Structure formats: structure tokens, C-alpha cells
Amino acid sequence: MFPRRKRLSRAEFPSALKNGRRVSSANFSAILSKNAAGYAVIVSKKTARLSVTRHRIKRRALEALRRLNSAIPASVILYPRASVLDMGYDELKQELTKLLS
């Protein structure tokens, strides 16, 4: 889990969504914004019905973001797709690196 200062707060979400730039790849969609500094991973019930599965996806994505922390200059709202579960951690990290650079 990220420390509180690294997380995107509820108050910062609207400006990040409004002013952010949307990028996507085969397994992720993300909104990048320079207004705030922080990270958020959103996994909807449409992506994974069971909360156990949603949390597994979220934990894997957050860990990859945590390791890439110094390479990410802006705030990131990340929307992983269900196919992330079938990926290895190294593949996931590599795709996130390409997406966010």
C-alpha cells in the first residue's frame, strides 16, 4: 500500500480527470495529470465481479507503480483490465513502464 502522501485524494480526483491526458494499452487505461502528485488504481465490478479478484488486481498494479515511483512525474489514475491477472509481474511492470513514459 502507498503511504497517504503518495495517494491521490478524493478532492484531487475531479481536476485530474478533467485536465488529465488519457493513455491506454492492451491491459491498462490511465489518466495522467500534472496538477497533483499521487496514484490511484480503480478496478470496477465490470472488470472483476469478486472483491477478492478486484483487490488482487489492485495490489499487483500498486506494487508495480510503487517500484516505478521515481520514473513517474505526474499523478496517475490507473484502470487495469481483467487480463492483468493472466500476466506475469515482469510483463505487467514492463507494460506500465511503456504506458507511463
Task: Give the CATH number, domain containing residue 9.
Answer: 3.30.230.10
pLDDT at 37: 75
pLDDT at 33 over 70: yes
Cell representation of residue 36: 497533483
- Residue with the bigger pLDDT between 10 and 55: it is 55
Give the separation between CA 66 and CA 72, rounded to whole angstroms. Answer: 10
Task: Report the range of poorest mean pLDDT among 1-15, 39-53, 79-93.
Answer: 1-15
State the number of CA atoms in the 13 A half-sphere of 28 facing the CB.
29
DSSP 2: -
- Cβ-contact 96, 28 below 8 angstroms: yes
Q: Among residues 93, 63, 65, which one has the least CA distance to residue 77?
A: 65
pLDDT at 73: 67
Domain count for the chain: 1
In which domain, by residue range, is 90 found? 4-100
Instruction: Give the model's confidence band at 30: pLDDT under 50 very low, under 70 low, under 90 confident, else very high.
Output: very high
